[in-house]
Structure 1
């Protein structure tokens, strides 16, 4: 009985670690998707690029990165984040989500980058 337990224990621990890593990846993907949607909604309401970055970091965590790109009247918010935890540091899982938005007010335009010269801005850490 003891020998069988000693052989099975590492397998059970490995299975538990993989389940926890998969759960962490799932939660991270949900947070990244929600942050992309929230950033796109703010962009559609006319928020500046810096405000979008603040919203993304508040929803997805301080380690999340966001990219805001403007294409005509459409704005795109792409958010990337790493899976936390011990297995997430061993396996470099980077998850991402993208959301598109148009301005809510007819005839309004999504604001360009803060300095007005770049059509694309990279935010985050």
Structure 2
């Protein structure tokens, strides 16, 4: 029984690490997408570009890159963040963008 456990245990640990790494990457992507959408909502309500970037960074994390621009009458919020853990060394980045039409002013 001990020999079988010694053969199987490294595979189980490797599988667990792979699953946790994939879950971490998925969570980072969801956070980045939520941050872009929240930033676009704030921009649509008339917040300044600095406040929009602050809202997005609050949700995505302080190390996230946030770009707020305007294109074709829309406000575009792009958020990106490097993946953590073993994927950081691979240079992978979670990215998302959202656009919103600003609400008409008074």
Q: Give TM-score, length-normalised by structure 1.
A: 0.78
Q: Which stretches in structure 1 are left out of the alignment for 5+ residues? A: 109-125
Q: Give TM-score, length-normalised by structure 2.
A: 0.90
Shift of 1:83: 2.0
Q: Which stretches in structure 2 are left out of the alignment for 5+ residues? A: none
Q: Aligned residue for 2:37?
A: 37
Q: Aligned residue for 2:16?
A: 16
User: What pairs with 1:110-125 in structure 2 (closer than 5 Å)?
Assistant: none
SS at match of 1:78: strand
Query: Aligned pairs, how many?
Result: 105
Q: Aligned residue for 1:47?
A: 47
Q: Does 1:99 align with 2:98?
A: yes
Shift of 1:5: 1.3
Q: What's the RMSD between the two structures over aligned residues?
A: 1.3
1:35-91 Cα shifts (integer Å, max 9, x gaps)? 000110111111111111111110111111111121131111110112223x23333
Higher helix share: 2
